[in-house]
Amino acid sequence: MTFEYVPDGSLDTHSNLSTFESTQILRQLLSALRYLHGLRPPVGHRDIKPENILVAHRGDDGILVKFADFGLSKASDTLKTFCGTLLWAAPEIYLKIPTLTATADETYSVTVDLWSLGQVVASLECGLPKYKEAWKKDAVAWVRAIREHVSDYEQYYQDQGTELLYFLLDNMLVEDPEERSSADYCHNEALRLSNCDSRIPFLQRIKDTRRRESTPSDTESSDDDDGKHSKISDTAVR
């Protein structure tokens, strides 16, 4: 048995990814999910997270990534097992935590992969909220905290190009799995994304713009705005 050598480690060891790179990662991994979910029966990865995404190449021409660790993957139309990594798990997985026995027979589908990938890409763009231990028993609060965090960035910084964040919120970071878009649809739409070619990280663009706009004369008059911005910035973690 032979394995492909992927030289640049896992995605969690890379930092300061640009929007251009985040979009490439989204498109490449959606292409993989489109294939996996299109099999009969469909194959769900079920543990998508930065540690399970390998970087084959990263340079001036962009980034090339691949999924790794299919240990929890399964080919089935309906899935039941509580598995994966909680920080990146879809809401329907998360909701099994308080009553694993009671929810043992409740099923979910391969669309859990769409949530997890959407969360990974969102984390590359704007970080994630600081995780609270209490959220282990309150899945709804964690899920909504993620959406609120990403939505805040998408709304407050549209001048910095937030089409990617809007796409994730509208198609992948959708609480109801029945309303979440399929891998096939997401891949097609991701290929159509525009204004996502900045080679500067999203958060860096925000900092650079605020630095240029900040002057002594407008410091006092922008207290309310600064309150919003600092609230967002303080919760963004990677």
6 inside domain: no
Within a domain: residue 109? yes
Q: What is the pLDDT of residues 178-211, one digit of tens each?
A: 999 999 999 999 999 998 999 999 999 999 988 8
Residues acting as catalytic residues? 47
216 lies in some domain = no
pLDDT tens digits, 94-146: 777 756 554 567 889 999 999 999 999 999 999 999 888 877 777 788 889 99
Number of domains in the chain: 1
pLDDT at 216 over 60: no
Domain span including residue 196: 11-208+225-235
CATH number at residue 124: 1.10.510.10
Q: What is the DSSP string of the chain?
A: ------TT-BGGG-----HHHHHHHHHHHHHHHHHHHHSSS-EE----SGGGEEEEEEETTEEEEEE---TT-EE-SSB----S-GGG--HHHHTTSTTTTTTTT--B-TTHHHHHHHHHHHHHHH-BPPP-GGGGG-HHHHHHHHHHHHHHHHHHTGGG--HHHHHHHHHTS-SSTTTSPPHHHHHHHHTT--S---SS-HHHHHHHHHHHH--GGGTTTTHHHHHHHHHHHHH-B-
Q: Is residue 215 part of a domain?
A: no
**Full-prediction pTM beyond 0.85?**
yes
Q: For residue 180, is it within any domain?
A: yes
Residue 188 lies in a domain: yes
What percent of the chain is modeled with pLDDT above 70?
86
